[in-house]
Structure 1
Amino acid sequence: MAFRLPLPPLALRVPLLTAATVFLFTVTTGQLVSWAMGQRLDQEAERLGRVYLDGLAAAVLPAVRNGDAEALQEALQRALGFQEGIRERRIAIGSADGQRLASAGIGPNPEWPAPFARGLRGHIWELATDGDAVWAQRPLKDRGQVIGVVAAKLDVSSITERRRRLDLAMLSFGLAIALIGAAFSALAARHALKPVLAITQALRRVGAGQLEPLAEPMMPPSDSEAGRLGHAFNGMVAQLTRRENLSRRLAERERAALLGRLVGTVAHEVRNPLAGMLTAVETARQFGHDEHERNEALDVLERGLRQIERVVASTLAVHRDWGPPRSLAAADFEDLRVLVTPAAQRRGIALDWCVALPEPFPVDALRLRQMVLNLLLNAVAATPAGGRVRLEVKVGTDARLAVVVEDSGAGLSPAAERRLCSPASPAEDDAAPVLGLGLEVVAALGQQLAVEIAVQPGAGGRGTRIILQAAATLSQNEPMPPELLA
């Protein structure tokens, strides 16, 4: 895996790239200007050297034409005496075939002799390796015929030094201008990015849950693209804020509706046994000396208290913390049989238990157990004495768990069936039919577990058959409690 260095943030990357671009462009432009000026100076120096050779050629032409070596030497010495403009280091005159006729000045330098001495003819401009001297050469013509060669070794050290100082000054000036331009361009880029960076920071705050619009001092001019972007962002924040407020109000209404429905259901479930219990208390007060009446009143009190206990247990079942989920096992249904049997025996109701669950099924056991327990208790309460309540559990061909609770009671109303199979939304709570609290618990837990609930007539068209179908929602390797594995 290749190692990649983390990129700096956009707020730093763009100004740096802009500054680097301006700096390189300015430095490169300065170097190109310096090179062009150097070329121009070289051309001017070469032109000046040719002008000097023209004057020297005119001075030595008569002596070369006449073959007067003494006059030629004297002319060279006179030329060396005038060094106001250009300083000569050495002057050499050669014949047309390259033989030296006369020379004067410093030297000769065997390592760098005159060009004609090295077989070079015609116009020559040859700079020394150290740049301090140059050989300038031209043919010496008389009436259009070449009769010799004039060469002069000129001292250009002062020109070279001035050029070096000029190059250094140009480089320093260019670097200074480049640095200033890079700094200004970085600041300009940073200023141009300021609205975008402000919106980026605001979006980061939105991601963290802080819906805050851009402050007015941070807003760029409205007629610019950044200004339009800022106003669009503020509009988005305003819409999200309104949506959050609306969602909060809807949630509060939903909680109020649920609480009202819970209170109404609890009051409905508790009021009936309380009326019977109050009647039993009055009976006990009036006929307490009669053992039969007293025992009957105590039975009514017991049944009322048990029904209130069921209401409390069912209410806690919806609102308690269930803890970590675990898979459903056959032992859970054996526990339900133990819980339901006393109520069934008191009412004289037979229980049919058919549980085919050889392996734990990956569904939340505690919630599903509570659903089945409420269905069984409601079935026992709805079945007349001598009736029968049946429980059937199996895994279908579609790999879903099917739980069937069937009784031989009077059955559910169509409105209650619809509410049990499709729990009402908060907006529909006021118009929804009132179920018993046990069935309310079944509907609420079924919605939490995504359990499909179906209601059918019982065997022979009597009673109610309620079918729960649950898909696997837990990992297959959920741990089982030790008491269920025993």
Structure 2
Amino acid sequence: MILRLWNSTPIALQMPLLAGVSVFLAAVATTQLATVTLGREALRDAARLGAVYLDGLSSALAEPLRRGDAAALRAAMQAAMTFQEGIRERRLEVALPDAGGLVVIGTEPHAMHPSPRSLGRPDIAWEASPDGRSAWVQRAFALPDGRTAILAAELDFSEAVERRERLARWLLGLDVALAAMAGLVAALLARRALAPLLAVVGVIGRAGGGDFTLAATAAVPAGTEVARLMSALDLMMARLDEREQLARRLAERDRAAELGELAATVAHEVRNPLAGMLTTIDSARRFGDDAQVRVESLDLLERGLRQIQHVVDETLLAYRGTVELRRLEQADIDDVLRLLAPEAAIRRVLLHHEGSLPEPFATDAIPVRQALLNLLLNAIQATPRGGAVRLRIGGEADGRLLIEVEDQGAGMPEAQRRHLEGAEASGSGLGLSVVMRELARLDGEIGVDTQPGRATRITIRLPPRRDLAP
């Protein structure tokens, strides 16, 4: 949850916050480390001070110990307890080598912190209490007869500890305040350092939305890396603006070219059935008295007009980006042959049809129909008088549809053959090259077998489409 919230925080807030928190924690940690170090040094100073205290105490007790005068020893210890300047004693113990020889002056021993001597540890020189408010200092004292006495003193450091604790609390508050100020300054400096980067991000964001406004560089010091970056960014924005304007002009030109090609293609596609319709009208005028001729002429006119209507509808659908798909039927093949029959009769070319579609084939009928219309019309125009154009339709073993158009012309130029096989033309009309490209989108294979001076055979192989399967 926290990590997701942090990742969603803008970098303009993350970086100053990280800088401020880092400086704050570093300042507090450094000061507290210094305080702990000073406290440890104070303990070592106290140990050294305890040793010095024992030196003075040993001097004061040396003479009574040499004489073995217990009363004088007690009086000297009492005088040491009475005179307190700098060091306060809680308890003094002198353990004499005699059995039970122990002289004690001061308060009762603390139950949780007795003298090391009483615990059987005569070699301990310094031992602080658990709360750090007192400590035992201890030393062995050699007597003239070779025996050893042990001096032990419990020193009270409670006032010094309280002063140190008050000082530590005061330093902690001051440290937190100063660290907070330093963190705030660091956050402001980080924010200021990020300002050029944020400006770059803002400019790039506007560029993504199409706004190529130049970045503001007035507040950036000249000659710095940031100034050079902003200058390069301004140059990039200017180039992008120029490129965007050029792209718009090119798009307008392409649009005009597409519209021109669309108009030319529609005119080409409408001209094909018009030729057959004009021939039908001429036949009706010449043989209008024959009822059968009139019926056939009206049928051909109706199919021609429907073909023109179909071309117009499909052009609108293609232009709007929506095309209605339907399967290829034998009626589509028959319509194409009927529309081209007048043109073939005028040129005295025989249209020979082999094979048929016993059932609808699962492919888009519109581009296939237009391809046949154009291929057969080109074949009729390329075939000399008295020649023949053959159309073969049938299925293959792998389920594909095979369509072959063969003429008896003088062959197809190589450039035209590559153009037909590659569908290199661009545009959105319904011309021959565009129809070939649509067939390629149906995963169809287009092959051309031609040589100069010989017949040309164009082969189309189409696989069935699953979305059109019955």
Give, in angstroms, the shift of residue 441 of structure 1. Answer: 1.3
Supply the AA of the counterpart residue of 1:342.
R
User: Contact 1:343/1:380 (CA < 8 Å) preserved in 2?
Assistant: no
Structure 1 match to 2:129: 128
Q: Does 1:369 find its partner at 2:358? A: no
Structure 2 match to 1:287: none
Give, in angstroms, the shift of residue 93 of structure 1. Answer: 1.7
User: Contact 2:116/2:122 (CA < 8 Å) preserved in 1?
Assistant: yes
Q: Does 1:253 find its partner at 2:253? A: yes
Give, in angstroms, the shift of residue 215 of structure 1. Answer: 1.7
User: Could you say if the C-alpha distance between residues 359 and 219 of structure 1 is closer, same or farther in structure 2, counting changes exceeding 3 Å?
Assistant: farther
Q: Does 1:320 find its partner at 2:317? A: yes
SS at 1:47 equivalent: helix
Structure 2 match to 1:478: 467
Paired with 1:397 and 1:238, the residues of 2 have a C-alpha distance of 61
SS at 1:126 equivalent: strand
1:166-212 superposed Cα distances (whole Å, 9 cap, x missing partner): 22233333333333333333443344344334444544555x55353
SS at 1:340 equivalent: helix
User: Could you say if the C-alpha distance between residues 95 and 414 of structure 1 is closer, same or farther in structure 2, counting changes exceeding 3 Å?
Assistant: closer
Paired with 1:262 and 1:237, the residues of 2 have a C-alpha distance of 37
Structure 2 match to 1:467: 459
SS at 1:352 equivalent: strand
Larger deviation, residues 115-124 vs 403-412? 403-412
Give, in angstroms, the shift of residue 66 of structure 1. Answer: 0.9
User: Contact 2:410/2:452 (CA < 8 Å) preserved in 1?
Assistant: no
User: Contact 1:198/1:214 (CA < 8 Å) preserved in 2?
Assistant: no
Paired with 1:83 and 1:365, the residues of 2 have a C-alpha distance of 118
Q: Does 1:338 find its partner at 2:334? A: yes
SS at 1:444 equivalent: helix
User: Contact 1:132/1:155 (CA < 8 Å) preserved in 2?
Assistant: yes
1:354-380 superposed Cα distances (whole Å, 9 cap, x missing partner): 25798955x544333332244345556
Structure 1 match to 2:31: 30
Q: Does 1:8 find its partner at 2:7? A: yes
User: Could you say if the C-alpha distance between residues 57 and 238 of structure 1 is closer, same or farther in structure 2, counting changes exceeding 3 Å?
Assistant: same
Paired with 1:333 and 1:395, the residues of 2 have a C-alpha distance of 13
User: Could you say if the C-alpha distance between residues 323 and 266 of structure 1 is closer, same or farther in structure 2, counting changes exceeding 3 Å?
Assistant: closer
1:243-289 superposed Cα distances (whole Å, 9 cap, x missing partner): 333333333223323434555666789899999x99xx9x9xxxxxx
- Give the CA RMSD over aligned residues: 5.0
Q: TM-score, normalised by structure 1?
A: 0.71
User: Contact 1:318/1:441 (CA < 8 Å) preserved in 2?
Assistant: no
Give, in angstroms, the shift of residue 161 of structure 1. Answer: 1.0
SS at 1:320 equivalent: helix
Paired with 1:401 and 1:120, the residues of 2 have a C-alpha distance of 110
SS at 2:467 equivalent: coil
Q: Does 1:103 find its partner at 2:100? A: no
1:371-426 superposed Cα distances (whole Å, 9 cap, x missing partner): 22443455567778876443334567899765322345787777766654556667
User: Contact 1:211/1:237 (CA < 8 Å) preserved in 2?
Assistant: no
Structure 1 match to 2:170: 169
Q: Percent identity?
A: 36
SS at 1:478 equivalent: helix
Paired with 2:105 and 2:341, the residues of 1 have a C-alpha distance of 145
Give, in angstroms, the shift of residue 77 of structure 1. Answer: 1.9
User: Contact 1:390/1:406 (CA < 8 Å) preserved in 2?
Assistant: yes
Paired with 1:270 and 1:418, the residues of 2 have a C-alpha distance of 26
Structure 1 match to 2:392: 392
User: Contact 1:406/1:458 (CA < 8 Å) preserved in 2?
Assistant: no
1:57-95 superposed Cα distances (whole Å, 9 cap, x missing partner): 222221111111111112222222222432222222222
User: Contact 1:138/1:149 (CA < 8 Å) preserved in 2?
Assistant: yes
1:211-238 superposed Cα distances (whole Å, 9 cap, x missing partner): 5355214985564444444444444444
Larger deviation, residues 154-163 vs 14-23? 14-23
Paired with 1:82 and 1:271, the residues of 2 have a C-alpha distance of 133
Larger deviation, residues 130-139 vs 398-407? 398-407
Q: Does 1:445 find its partner at 2:435? A: yes
1:320-345 superposed Cα distances (whole Å, 9 cap, x missing partner): 3374675x85xx14121231243355
Paired with 2:273 and 2:322, the residues of 1 have a C-alpha distance of 32
User: Could you say if the C-alpha distance between residues 400 and 479 of structure 1 is closer, same or farther in structure 2, counting changes exceeding 3 Å?
Assistant: closer
User: Contact 1:89/1:153 (CA < 8 Å) preserved in 2?
Assistant: yes
User: Could you say if the C-alpha distance between residues 168 and 442 of structure 1 is closer, same or farther in structure 2, counting changes exceeding 3 Å?
Assistant: same
User: Contact 1:318/1:444 (CA < 8 Å) preserved in 2?
Assistant: no
Q: TM-score, normalised by structure 2?
A: 0.74
Map 1:53-452; keep pairs closer than 5 Å: 53-96=54-97, 100-109=101-110, 112-122=113-123, 124-141=125-142, 147-206=148-207, 208-210=208-210, 212=212, 215-217=215-217, 220-221=220-221, 223-263=223-263, 314=311, 317-321=314-318, 323=322, 329=327, 332-346=328-342, 348=345, 349-355=350-356, 360=361, 364-376=364-376, 379=379, 388-393=388-393, 402-407=402-407, 420-421=420-421, 441-450=431-440
Paired with 2:84 and 2:91, the residues of 1 have a C-alpha distance of 12
1:113-172 superposed Cα distances (whole Å, 9 cap, x missing partner): 433333333562222223232222223356897753322222211111112222223333
Give, in angstroms, the shift of residue 38 of structure 1. Answer: 0.4
Supply the AA of the counterpart residue of 1:336.
D
Give, in angstroms, the shift of residue 34 of structure 1. Answer: 0.9
SS at 1:216 equivalent: coil
User: Could you say if the C-alpha distance between residues 310 and 123 of structure 1 is closer, same or farther in structure 2, counting changes exceeding 3 Å?
Assistant: closer
Q: Does 1:45 find its partner at 2:46? A: yes
Paired with 1:148 and 1:218, the residues of 2 have a C-alpha distance of 86
